[in-house]
Amino acid sequence: MSIKVNARNTTATAAGKPCRLEAFRCAGAVATPSRGNRRVVMAGGFKLGAKVADQFRRLGWEVHTVTGEHDVHAAAAETDPHAILLSETAGDESGYLACAKLRHTQPELKVVVVGSKWTPERERFAEFVGGTFATEDDVDGLVKAAF
């Protein structure tokens, strides 16, 4: 099945027929937008989230934000991001668990687990689940980790 998504991600074309994107989500297929612009998904609340988002925008990245932990998986499937920044503690699902799930379904995806304080254990655990660790106070470090 060939799937193409328009720039707004609202309609898709399969076998030459236009369809609503929601139909593909229900069918389990993933639509992939064009890879022209770099995209980042920021999931959870960060102390300096607005500054981090502004920094990415200045670099020409599209920034998508989600608040619920279940939304990050949908956002990853819908936006085809280059990187995802996950809060270490975001509700029912930790950033580490979300990282492991995302890396299982999208192995090429760059995932950054964001926490309040750096420790060797946090960094090792983030690496174990396939991501990297960065602190929420370091705007430049968060942006650098996404590259």
Per 3-state DSSP, the chain is made up of helix, strand and coil in percentages (nearest 5) of 35, 25, 35
Please give the Cα distance from 66 to 60 (Å, whole number). 19
For 109-118, write each residue's pLDDT tens digit. Answer: 999 999 889 9
pLDDT at 8 over 70: no
The architecture that CATH gives domain 35-145 is: 3-Layer(aba) Sandwich (3.40)
pLDDT at 91: 66
Amino acid at 67: T
pLDDT at 22: 35
**53 vs 29, more confident:** 53
Q: Report domain extents, the chain.
A: 1-33, 35-145
Mean pLDDT score across all residues of the chain: 75
pTM above 0.85, yes or no: no
27: part of which helix (H) or strand (E)?
helix 21-27
pLDDT at 120: 95
Whole-number percent of the chain with pLDDT over 90? 26
83-87 and 110-115: which strand pairing? parallel
Of 29-33, 41-45, 125-129, the poorest mean pLDDT is in 29-33
Residue of 93, 127, 91 whose CA lies nearest to 110: 127
**88 vs 23, more confident:** 88
pLDDT at 70: 59
**141 vs 3, more confident:** 141
